[in-house]
Amino acid sequence: MRKAAALVLVTTLTLAGCSFGKEKEKPAPKPSPNLTAPPPAVAIHSGPFKAGPFKAPKKGAYVGAWIKPDELTHVGRLAAVQGLESELGRSLHIVNTYRRFEQMVGTPSDKEFLAQGATLMVSWATGDNRSILDGEHDDLIRKQARAIRKVHRPVLLRMRWEMDRPNLRATMWSGADYIAAWKYVREIFRQERVKNVSWVWCPTAEGFIRGDAPGFYPGDDQVDWTCVDVYAGERFAPIAELMGPFLQWAAQRPKPIVVGEFGVAKAWGSAGRAAWLRDAARTFKANPQIKAVVYFESDPEGNGPTKQFQLTGDKPAFKAFHKLVRDPYFNP
């Protein structure tokens, strides 16, 4: 297991992809969907994929996680990953990490994860798109580009993931603004000779259900991996149903898919959660274009049971997740 390296890192949970508010919880209805039916295969594009420096496995899918640390320090971050890996009896392929706009990649804990063979998926909360396009953050973007270049290992970079969330509209402005900012940042990275980034475009499953997420897509020439964040939170349904519109869209593009965040809420009970995770494993395997899956192992503070997703401590649910990660399919 990884040894802890001391350094202070402030990582606020508001960066995490759920970013759920504290609205009053609604009583959760009992689970009713059929989680035993074979999932429909949708995303079966066989490639070849242009995935950037982080290559997709020929068969199977990588597995990773974001693990909420008990303490928001580097020691806490390392302990969180180490603890989950110990319980799983295996190392994670991908370690998801959230960074504010001004937080640089390449911290000692980043280096520790890399030294142990993990790949970093950096969820980077870039700022107001129009201020980016006005050049207000050029120095910051260049600094991050140089920091990532110095890593000397492939990095999955989720630039402002979940950009389609309605509560981000004030800083995203529009799909056109987001696309322009994406291209602007990529150009700065090119100028800084950064060649170890795989660019990951990651909206929400809800954005595809609403129909507005595709309007934020920068284009096949700009994106290396397509991505989606999907949760059985307030709505309990099979994962294939929740992310079905995204899978149908992604199947038309020669890009590998990473499920950037997925989770099933505690509101649905241990048995329901375990069944949902077993169905998720079947769904991932039925859609071979999915080349990586990353669990959101966190209970964001202040949220009720429909918005808490930690599996540790829930024996039936954790057992189902353990079976998923020990499956040879998820150990390519």
CB 223 within 8 A of CB 255: yes
DSSP annotation of 5: -
For residue 214, the one-letter residue type is P
Task: Return the structure tokens found at 252.
Answer: 């038309």
Could you give the residue numbers annotated as active site?
162, 261
Strand 197-201 and strand 94-100: the pairing is unpaired
Task: Return the structure tokens found at 190.
Answer: 């090119």
Length of the chain (residues): 332
Residue-wise DSSP of 121-190: EEEEE---HHHHHTTTTHHHHHHHHHHHHTT-S-EEEEETTTTT-GGGHHHH--HHHHHHHHHHHHHHHH
> E-strand spans in the chain?
62-67, 94-100, 119-125, 155-159, 197-201, 225-232, 257-264, 290-297
Alpha-carbon distance of 313 to 122, in angstroms, equals: 27
Alpha-carbon distance of 228 to 242, in angstroms, equals: 11
